[in-house]
Amino acid sequence: MPEPTTTTSLPCEPCRRCVFHAWQLIDRDELGWRAEWECDTCAFGAPDTCGRDEGRGPAPGDVRAAVVAAEGTVLVDLRGGGVPALRAVRKVLGLPLAQLRAAVRDGYRATPVEAELIRRLITGWTAAGAAAPE
């Protein structure tokens, strides 16, 4: 009698025709991101495959790089922003203190979504449209 065979599912591997899409978004005054592979040939990225990922907080390097390539960056000038600006940048980007100091000194090249969230947090804007609590 033949031995039963076992089906093994290997992780997805994108082909040369796969396209990587990446987004950043603001959800409830928090930075979020999504990434997806799409292909018309190998079905990578089709529903129920490993072609999608998402999360909250700063985007992984490959996702942020794709957003920068597609949308560019905005120079966020933090000089004169005081403590609210530092808190906003720290909350949105999670920068270590040395990078935060450099961002205050030189400005920070943010994606448009990062810049918008920093602006909202500095000015006290919230998703509900009310002033942020002190």
| H helix intervals, 8-111 | 61-71, 82-93, 97-106
- SS3 call for 111: coil
- SS3 call for 65: helix
How far from the centroid of its chain's Cα atoms is residue 12's Cα? 22
pLDDT band, residue 18 (cuts 50/70/90): confident
CA-to-CA dists, residue 41 to 8, 36, 37, 45, 109, angstroms? 22, 15, 12, 11, 36
What pLDDT digit, counting tens, does each position of 37-93 carry? 777 776 655 554 556 789 999 999 999 999 999 999 999 988 888 888 888 888 888
At 24 the pLDDT is 96
pTM, two decimals, is: 0.73
Judge contact between 28 and 127, C-beta under 8 A: yes
